[in-house]
Amino acid sequence: MRPIPPSHERSVRRSRVRLQVLLAVSSLGEAYIGQVSRLTGIPWPRVKWALLGHPPQYRVELSLVGVGLVREKITPAGTVFAITSAGRRKARSITQALARRGSTRERVAAHVQVTGHLRDRAAAGDRSPAP
């Protein structure tokens, strides 16, 4: 598998909106701006800016279309945005990382809950073995 270029990393890491838009387009395959907006809850102008760029908030060279993660297709019904193979790979790696981070948080929370419970019992003077 080819490594993901630094421009793709920088584009997605610099903007939470770009990240959400990339994941939404990836899950839909092809979508209009309005569909992505409804799916993510992000206003449609911001979705458009994340896809195409809008200086100074969203740099054109770091936009999802600009770095090649999403492709713009002009149709008679309007502009459709489709995920590219590089965009699909990037979205997959992001979702896997988020899943790992989520499972780690769950394990840490469970550990903190157990150790906190034991600490509370010890502070109360309960010396019986843990259940």
- What are the residue ranges spanned by the domains of the chain? 6-117
∠ CA 13-19-24, nearest 5°, is 165
Residue, of 36 and 118, whose pLDDT is higher:
36
Query: What pLDDT, on the 0 to 100 scale, is given for residue 129?
Result: 54
SS3 at position 69: coil
**Cα 37 to the center of its chain, rounded Å:** 15
Per-residue pLDDT reduced to its tens digit, 46-81? 999 999 998 888 888 888 998 889 999 999 988 999
Residues 10-18 have a mean pLDDT of 80
Band (82; pLDDT cuts 50, 70, 90):
very high
**Among residues of the chain, what percentage have pLDDT more than 70?**
73
3-state secondary structure of 79: strand
- The answer to pTM > 0.75 is no
Residue 1, pLDDT > 70, answer: no
Q: Which CATH architecture has domain 6-117?
A: Orthogonal Bundle (1.10)
Please report the beta strands in 22-124, taking only residues with DSSP state E, as ranges in sequence order. 30-31, 70-75, 78-83
Task: Tell me whether strands 30-31 and 78-83 are parallel, antiparallel or unpaired.
Answer: antiparallel
- At 84-100, the pLDDT tens digits run 998 898 888 888 887 87
